[in-house]
Amino acid sequence: MRATIIHGPGDIRVEDRDYPVVQLPTDVVVKVTASCVCGSDLWPYRGVKPTRRPAAIGHEFIGIVESAGSEVTALKEGDFVIAPFVVSCGKCPQCLNGVTVACDRLAGWGGKDDSGFRIDGGQGEAVRVPLAESTLVKVPDVGGPDAALRNSLLTLSDVMATGHHAALSAGVSPGRTVVVVGDGAVGLCGVLAAKRLGAERIIAMSRHADRQAIAREFGATDIVEERGNDGVERVRELLGGVLADSVLECVGTKESMEQALHSVRPGGALGFVGVPTGGAEIPLRYLFDNNVTVAGGMAPARTYIPELLADVLAGTINPGRVFDVEMPLEEAPEAYKAMDERRAIKVLLTP
C-alpha cells in the first residue's frame, strides 16, 4: 500500500509499505477513506521535533473496517469508523475517568502497540487498529457519506474534539465572553465549540481574511487582528473595559500563551490545547495575584466523539468547513508545504 513517511525536516515522501493485517485478536484493519495533515504534524516537518529515523506519519483518519480479530464483536466488516488520534484500552483508571490520552496501554499511529507490533500512520491506504473496540467509534447508518459529512466526521478524530476540550477547560458556558487565540483548524473549532456551549460573545484573534470568514460562520462575533498589548487593549475595548471570562489558547508558543493569559479577566479561566513548543512558561505569581484558572492539555478525543458525533449527524455543527484544500495521498508532500506556508488552513487527503 501507499503511505506517507517523514524522513526529516521538510522531507515527506509517499512510499510503498506492507498492507496491514490483523496481528492480535483485538485488532481490526481499517481501509482509510480520508485522512489529513495536522498542525502538530508540522513540528517534525519544521524540525522542531526531531525525526530520528523514517517513520509513518498522520494521526487523523476515518474509514471502513476490512477485517477483524477473533475477539472483536462490536465491529464488523463494512462498519464506518472514526479513529481518535491515539489508541486507548477503555478499562484502565484513566480511561474510566475519561482521560483516554493517559491510558495505561496508550499507543500512537505510526508507532508500536504494547505488544511490540508496528502500527501504521493515518496518512496511508490502510491502518491496523489495536484495541479496536475501545479505540474506534462506529458511525451509524451513514453508508458512503457525502463530502461535507465526511469532512466533519474527520474533524472529530482530533481538531473538533481538541477545540471542544479547550472550551470545556476554559469553563465556557451560556453567557460567557470568550477569546480564541489561534486561527488554525483547532482555533476555528474552538470558536465553534464556544458557540455550541452557549457563549454570548466570541472574539477570534486572526489576521487572515479566509480564516476570519470561517470564524464568523462558526459563531465569532468579533475579530481582533492586533497582537501583544494592543490585542489585549482591543479585547478590553470590545468588552466594555473588562477582559474575557474564558480564553482558548490553540497554538502552543510562548507568544500565544502570553497573549491568551493577558486576555483573561481576573477570576477568569484559560483552556490551553496548543501542543507546547518550548518557552510557554506559566507565571504562577500572575495566576495567584489574578485568581486565573489554567486547565487543558491533550484532548481525550475518544471521550468526546460520541457527543460531538450526534451533533454532526443532526447537522447542528459543521466543523468540516476547516478543510479548505483536498489532495490525493500521493500529493502529501505538497499538502505539508501548503500547511507550512499557511496557504491552507487544513488539507484533507484521499487515497
DSSP per-residue string spanning 279-343: -----HHHHHHHT-EEEE-S--HHHHHHHHHHHHHHTS--GGGG--EEEEGGGHHHHHHHHHTTS
Check residue 233 and give its pLDDT: 98
Check residue 148 and give its pLDDT: 93
CATH topology of domain 159-296: Rossmann fold (3.40.50)
Q: Which three cell numbers, joined as nine digits, stand for 143?
A: 453508508
Low-confidence residues of the chain: pLDDT under 50: none
Check residue 97 and give its pLDDT: 98
Q: Which three cell numbers, joined as nine digits, stand for 135?
A: 479505540
| Gap between the Cα atoms of 128 and 20, Å rounded | 6
CA-angle at 114, arms to 109 and 116, nearest 5°: 85
Q: Which pLDDT tens digit goes with each residue over 30-40?
A: 999 999 999 99
Average pLDDT of the chain, as a whole number = 96
Check residue 276 and give its pLDDT: 87
- Show the DSSP H helices in the chain as ranges: 42-46, 93-96, 132-135, 147-155, 159-169, 185-196, 209-218, 228-238, 254-261, 284-290, 301-314, 332-340
CB 162 within 8 A of CB 299: yes
Q: Which pLDDT tens digit goes with each residue over 253-264?
A: 999 999 999 999
Check residue 280 and give its pLDDT: 64
The Cα-based distances of 80 to 64, 191, 326 in angstroms read 5, 28, 20
Residues of the chain with CATH 3.90.180.10: 2-158+300-350
Residues of the chain with CATH 3.40.50.720: 159-296
Q: Which three cell numbers, joined as nine digits, stand for 326?
A: 483536498
Pairing of strands 222-224, 201-205: parallel
CB 207 within 8 A of CB 180: no
Please name the CATH architecture into which domain 2-158+300-350 falls: Alpha-Beta Complex (3.90)
